[in-house]
Structure formats: C-alpha cells, structure tokens
Amino acid sequence: DICLWIDGVGGYAICSAQLFRFGAVGNREVDAAVFADIPAEAFTISTSNEASLLTPLAAGITINGRKVERPTILRNNDRIDVPREVSLLFK
C-alpha cells in the first residue's frame, strides 16, 4: 500500500506501509509530522482488505465532526480534525 501525504503549502511525502502514523514534528516515530501544536502521536491509519482504519491515539480526534474513541473505517472525503485547529481530508 502507498500513502501520498500532501500538506497545505505544497509539501509532500510518499509512505509505503500498511500503517501510517500522524503527529507533531519532533516525534521520530511518525510518518507525517505537522508543524502545529498537536499531540506527538495523534492517530494511525492502517489498511487491510481494501479498507482504511483510523485509530485515535490522542483525545479529541473527530471524523466529520463526530468524536472518535475507537478504530473507525475511513471513507473518501472524510474530514479528520485534530485538536488545536488541524484538519485533514482523507482521499
């Protein structure tokens, strides 16, 4: 599986793993690090059987405005919000 990470200012990265980790800059364990005041490890996205599953690692993660407290299947165009004003669009 391949994940193409594109940020809002034109930066990008290609990740080739079944587990994609998202968090703050400074954490060497994440695949996509964001320059923002967010948790060091915010969530993971794993792929299995053609489904993408978001697992929250920090409190306050939402998908389309609904709080996520357990692994949740992502759908195209889902909006993922991380506390402190960071939003992502899942494609």
pLDDT in tens, the chain (91 residues): 556 666 666 666 666 667 888 887 776 777 777 777 888 888 988 887 778 899 999 999 999 999 999 999 999 999 999 987 788 888 8
> Can you give the pTM of this predicted structure?
0.79
Report CA dihedral (36, 57, 45, 62) to the nearest 10 degrees.
Answer: -70
Looking up tokens 């506390």, which residue turns up?
83
Looking up tokens 């290609």, which residue turns up?
14
